[in-house]
Amino acid sequence: MERLIRGVFRHLQRRMLFVPEGISRDLAERIEVTQVDDWLRTTMGTVPVGMIIALVLYAAYWTHRGDPLLQAGFAAVFSGYATLFWLACRWRRQRREGSNVFGSMHRLLIMRFLLGIAWSVTLVALMRLSGTVERAMVASLPSGFMSTALFGGPALYALSFWVPMTIGGYAVLYASGTLFTAAPLACLSFYALLTFGVILTFDRKVLERNLAMARLEQHAETIGILLRDFEESASDWLWETDGALVLRHISERFAEVMRSDMRALEIGFLDLLRAHQAPDGGGPTAIDPLCALEEAIERRRPFREQIVPVCIGGERRWWALTGKPLFGEGGRFTGYRGVGSDVTSAYATRQQLAHLARHDPLTGLFNRNEFSAALATCVGNGTRNRTALFCLDLDEFKAINDGHGHDVGDAVLRIVAQRLRSALRPEAVVARLGGDEFAVLADIEREPDAVAIAERILETLARPFAVGELRLRTGISIGIAIVPDHGRESETIYRNADLALYRAKAAGRGTWRLYDGQEDTALLDRRLIAGDLRQAVQNGEIFVVYQPVHDLRTGDLVALEALVRWCHPTRGLMMPAAFVPLAEQGGMIDTIGMFVLASAADLARNLPPQITVAVNLSPIQLRDESLPERVREILARRDVAPARIELEITESVMLESGGKPFEVLRRLRAGGHQLAIDDFGVGYSSLAVLRSFTFDRLKIDRSFVCHLDESGSDLAILRAVVALGGALGISVSAEGVASAAQARRLAELGCAWGQGYYFSEPISAEQVMQRFTPRAGATLPHVEPIA
């Protein structure tokens, strides 16, 4: 039974309270608790009022105190109020103690309902006992009691009294005999309707208010939990100030971070930061990080992730502070609230990354990027200051790396960096551009200052480097260009210093060179050509021409010399003298040489077997031990016998150190090639070269041939050379034969072959082939017989 009543009550409560559907259980319970509190509060208020009215009426009808119905009514009313009061007091106490009184609340409602009935009975009894005057008062009393229900708060509670009192109202009318009289009946009914409507409306308003308050409470709790959780788990902390910017509500976490007592932290926020401020290490030009923060606070602006260096207990830390200004009524500033986090480790990583982005990890010097930026700044300063740019390159560093390993190489680079730093003023920019290249930017007043700096650098680096047990030496070459004298743009100044460096290296290393307009322009031109040359073979710009070589006795064409040409896209036809040395320096000579060899072999294959084709080899190519093998492959692929390809080497091969070139030559000769010594006589080692190696042919340089007609000394030399060739069993060939007379003279001297403009200028492969057409007819191209 009890359970049934409770169920009905709950159902009614839900319906009558208009607790909105779909709200969370937690929220519904919160509202119910508020309702209960309201009920109890209202009960405590209404009991004394009801008791006083009851006592007044009891006194007024004292003369009728013997009436049994009246006695029963008043007895019920007094005991009802007493019980209500007792119940309300008990439950309030229980509520304060935190017990859930909700389950017993239906008893309160029943008591109210019974009290309503008791009042109705009492009023009916009073009506019966009243005279004409009192009747009006008694008739109005139910309406009065109905109105008290209005202050009863929640609908269910109000209605628990309103319902019996409304019925009582009709009962009183009945007792007065006016129930069916239009005016009293209508008044009572309209009043009942009005109060019912007001109860429901009032209830709704209260409910909405309670709901809003409950929600607010719930949010506050959730936020509180989150914040607590935030403070407990994260490394961050909350901070808050009042309108005077004094820290308030110091959290435990904040006190922990500050390694201080919570109370001691209730000081000005900015004062605290200033007191613990640490220098940020950004140099004298760095902006004070607190200034930005102070400015934001002064302007009452929010700030985000403001990085502030602090010193806590002697330890340097980095904080990120975020804050938001708070404004109260009328836009009054009430303080700041925000979050702080210790970002020391993240900041340190960021700093490290920033350092890495600007510095060379091996030496700690600036890297190329930073150097370029510094150079751009120098150049951007215009002509106000003079700055010298030094481009430095270690001499023979490759040998250290190759000979002792990269660790030793790295150690040398580090020592070089240290010495450079110590040789220069602290404000000089010292950078490692990569490999063994360094660069320095130093302010100077006059050109000699730059020279003095270069000499100081050379001197410091001339001392041997101690790496473990090793004592190593490496020189350095320096190219200098001065801003603005030698250029007003970064690129120009850098290129000019680099050109000067190139010249310093060419001058024998271990020295410096200052940019020189004329010399370096020519050098630049050569370097531009060298740059283009890298692409030339792939672009098909390189081609080969052939100069016929004739037998000086018979006039027959006996051989051809392959001579390389470059059809430059903008410079036009270029002769070997203009680019072969560059190809040798730039490491492209092997590619070009192999291309010429392949072209010569292609031609030889289509020529009569007795015709040989000569190909020039650079001494650089002879450094490569794989050369004989590669030459063999090229010829084998074309099915050309090595004897068809003669190889020409200049005397400069003698300048090559070690025996490697001669070993390569020996293997080439063993492979079946004829070897010729080219330009014989111009080198000071002419005779030495003949002693070092056995050649098959000796080609007299054209400088001895061209003056043959006039110069007696040249004739004597030629005669001696031919005799030497004869003695050593080497065939002699002459270059630069320009006339029939020269050809005849050379033939008379015993020179076997000759080539020169008299016979033919170098011609294309197609022209060569035309001269041999038709191939079947064995008649060879022939210049008129000489002898």
Residue 311 — left, alpha, or beta (φ > 0 → left; ψ -120 to 50 → alpha)?
A: beta
Q: Which helix (H) or strand (E) holds 733?
A: strand 731-734
Question: By C-beta, is 375 or 705 nearer to ligand C2E?
Answer: 705
* Nearest alpha carbon to residue 379 among 391, 368, 389: 389
- Residue 474 lies near ligand C2E (rule: CB under 6 A): no
Stretch that binds Mg ion, among 103-111, 264-272, 569-577, 609-617 (CB under 5 A): 609-617
Q: What is the spatial distance between Cα 465 and Cα 376, in angstroms, rounded to a whole number?
A: 33
CA distance 353 to 372: 19
User: Six-digit token pair at 213?
Assistant: 């308050």
Q: Taking Cα atoms as reference points, which of 402, 405, 410, 463 lies closest to residue 436?
A: 410
Name the binder of 576 from Mg ion, ligand C2E, none, CB < 5-8 A by kind.
ligand C2E
**CB under 5 to 8 A by kind: which of Mg ion, ligand C2E, none does 32 bind?**
none
Closest distance of CB 441 from Mg ion, Å: 48
CA dihedral 358, 361, 362, 366 (to 10 degrees): 10
Residue 651 as a binder of ligand C2E (CB under 6 A): the answer is no
Token output for 267: 């000081």
Q: Identify what 393 binds: ligand C2E, Mg ion, none; CB under 5 to 8 Å per kind.
A: none
Residue nearer to ligand C2E on the CB measure, 175 or 734: 734
Residues 672-691 that bind ligand C2E (CB under 6 A): 678-679
Residue 308's binding partner, choosing from Mg ion, ligand C2E, none, with beta-carbon cut-off 5 to 8 A by kind? Answer: none
Residue pair 279/299 in contact (Cβ under 8 Å)? The answer is no
* Cα angle value 88/94/96 (rounded, 5°): 105
The size of the chain, in residues, is 787
Query: Could you say whether residue 436 binds ligand C2E (CB under 6 A)?
Result: no
Count, residues near Mg ion per rule CB under 5 A: 5
Between CA 83 and CA 466 the distance in angstroms is 106
Rounded least distance, CB 574 to Mg ion, Å: 17
Count other C-beta atoms under 10 Å from residue 630's C-beta.
Answer: 15
Considering only 266-274, 316-324, 732-740, 744-752, which stretch makes contact with ligand C2E by CB under 6 A? Answer: 732-740
| Cα dihedral across residues 722, 725, 726, 732: positive or negative | negative
Check binding of 648 to Mg ion (CB under 5 A).
yes
Name the DSSP letter for residue 246: B
Q: Which of residues 179 and 578 has its CB atom nearest to Mg ion in the complex?
A: 578
**For ligand C2E, which is the closer residue by CB, 327 or 757?**
757
Q: Which residue number, 551 or 678, has a Cβ lying nearer to Mg ion?
A: 678
Residue 714 interacting with ligand C2E (CB under 6 A): no
Alpha carbons 442 and 317: distance in angstroms, whole number: 36
**How many Cβ atoms sit within 10 Å of the Cβ of residue 426?**
5
We find the least distance from the C-beta atom of residue 584 to ligand C2E, in angstroms, to be 8
Collect all residues with Cβ–Cβ distance below 8 Å to 128 and sequence separation of at least 6: 69, 175
Least separation, in Å, of the C-beta of 418 and Mg ion?
51
| Residue 757 binding result from Mg ion, ligand C2E, none, given CB thresholds of 5 to 8 Å by partner type | ligand C2E
Half-sphere exposure for 549 (CA within 13 Å, toward CB): 22
**Residue 152 · residue 161 · CB < 8 Å:** yes
Looking at the DSSP bridge assignments, the partners of residue 322 are: 339
- Contact between 580 and ligand C2E (CB under 6 A)? yes
- Binding residue (CB under 6 A) for ligand C2E from 762, 768, 780, 783: 762
679 near Mg ion, rule: CB under 5 A: yes
Q: How far is the CB of 648 from ligand C2E (least distance, A)?
A: 6
Looking at residues 503 to 562 of the shown chain, list those that interact with ligand C2E (rule: CB under 6 A). 547
Asked if 618 touches ligand C2E (CB under 6 A), the answer is yes
The residue (of 436 and 714) whose beta carbon lies closer to Mg ion is 714
Position 521, amino acid: T
Q: Beta strand pairing status for 542-551 and 753-754?
A: antiparallel
Radius of gyration of the chain (CA): 57
Q: Judged by CB under 5 A, does residue 678 bind Mg ion?
A: yes
Of the candidate residues 593, 628, 661, 725, the single one contacting ligand C2E (CB under 6 A): 593
**Mask: binding to Mg ion, 615-644, rule CB under 5 A, as x and -?**
-x----------------------------
What is the binding site for Mg ion (CB under 5 A)?
616, 648, 678-679, 735
Residues that bind ligand C2E (CB under 6 A): 547, 563-564, 575-577, 580, 593, 596, 616-618, 648, 678-679, 702, 735-736, 738, 755-757, 762
